[in-house]
Amino acid sequence: MNKIYGEGETAVNALRDVSFSVKKGELLLIVGSSGSGKSTLLNMIGLLDRPTSGKVFLDGIDTTTLNDSELSSFRNSKLGFVFQFANLLSDLTVLENILLPRKIQRTNESTVDDAKKLLRTVGLEKQMNNRANKISGGQAQRAAIARGLINSPSIVLADEPTGNLDSVTAEIIVQLMKSLVKKLGQTFIIVTHDKHQFGDVDRIITIKDGHAFEGEEQRGMEVAAS
């Protein structure tokens, strides 16, 4: 897969021949320096942008064949997102924030029960009726993780999920995500500038100058979770 911004002499090759697959229940880190292309790669996997050439497969579906409406629906049902800032809506309760992706998907079956179960899983059942602006930063990020899980996505994409937290709270969030991989068999792809914070993970992909490396070996991007 390739991603080029601009044309002619001003063209920038943000990603160059990137190719890898992701297994179900895998915790994969994407690391690289600022400007290396890791955020561009996350946007490609997250179907927030389209590759200039190449394809992105998710659950066996070639997502490059989908129109914008199909892509939006597919993204909401198949992908969960966690960002550096929790981005909760302050005038809604924690529970209401978790339910937002379900409302977008217009799915009501067992919705509230599912959300409450997730909040118990991330340790927020006592805060579920609190307004989002009345909980701590660590609690907000746990709520964001639960929101990312509510539609039972194939992959949760996390962009610097601990970047706005102190070291102690960051460790709690790291351990929570690791436990969800084991408990739920949930696939996580995490962009981070600090791979050491995560300790042992299944795999690390390093992005440098738009190229993807796994270990010392350069890999050619197919993304699949099945």
Any idea what the CATH number is for the domain that residue 25 is in?
3.40.50.300
Residue 107's pLDDT is 62
Residue 184 in domain = yes
99 within domain boundaries: no
In this prediction, residue 104 carries a pLDDT of 79
Per-residue pLDDT at 110: 62
Q: What integer is the mean pLDDT of 69-93?
A: 92
List the domain range (segments joined by +) for residue 208: 3-88+137-142+153-218
Question: What is the CA angle 60-14-9, rounded to 5?
Answer: 130
What does the pLDDT read at residue 221? 44
Residues 6+ apart with CB under 8 A from 202: 23, 26, 27, 28
What's the number of domains the chain is made of? 1
- Bridge pairing between strands 57-58 and 27-31: unpaired
Distances, alpha carbon 169 to alpha carbons 111, 127, 138, in Å:
29, 17, 6
Q: Decide if 94 is inside a domain.
A: no
**pLDDT at position 66:** 94
Least confident of 48-62, 70-84, 86-100, 203-217: 203-217
Average pLDDT, the chain: 89
Mean pLDDT of 93-120: 85
Average pLDDT over residues 124-139: 94
CA distance 164 to 170: 8
Percent of the chain residues topping a pLDDT of 90: 69
Residue 95 lies in a domain: no
Please determine, for residue 61, whether its predicted confidence score (pLDDT) is greater than 50.
Answer: yes
pLDDT tens string 152-162:
999 999 999 99
Domain membership flag for residue 120: no
Average pLDDT over residues 139-155: 94
Residues 164-223: pLDDT tens digits?
899 999 999 999 999 999 999 999 999 998 888 999 999 999 999 889 988 534 444 445
Residue range 44-56: mean pLDDT, rounded: 93
Is the pLDDT at 30 greater than 70? The verdict is: yes
For residue 150, which of 102, 90, 96, 106 has the smallest C-alpha distance?
A: 102
Q: What is the pLDDT of residue 103?
A: 83
Q: Classify residue 115: in a domain, yes or no.
A: no
Asked whether residue 97 is domain-assigned, the answer is no
Q: Please report where in the chains the tokens 């002619």 appear, as a residue.
A: 8
Q: What integer pLDDT is reported at residue 226 of this predicted model?
A: 40
Assigned domain for 223 exists: no
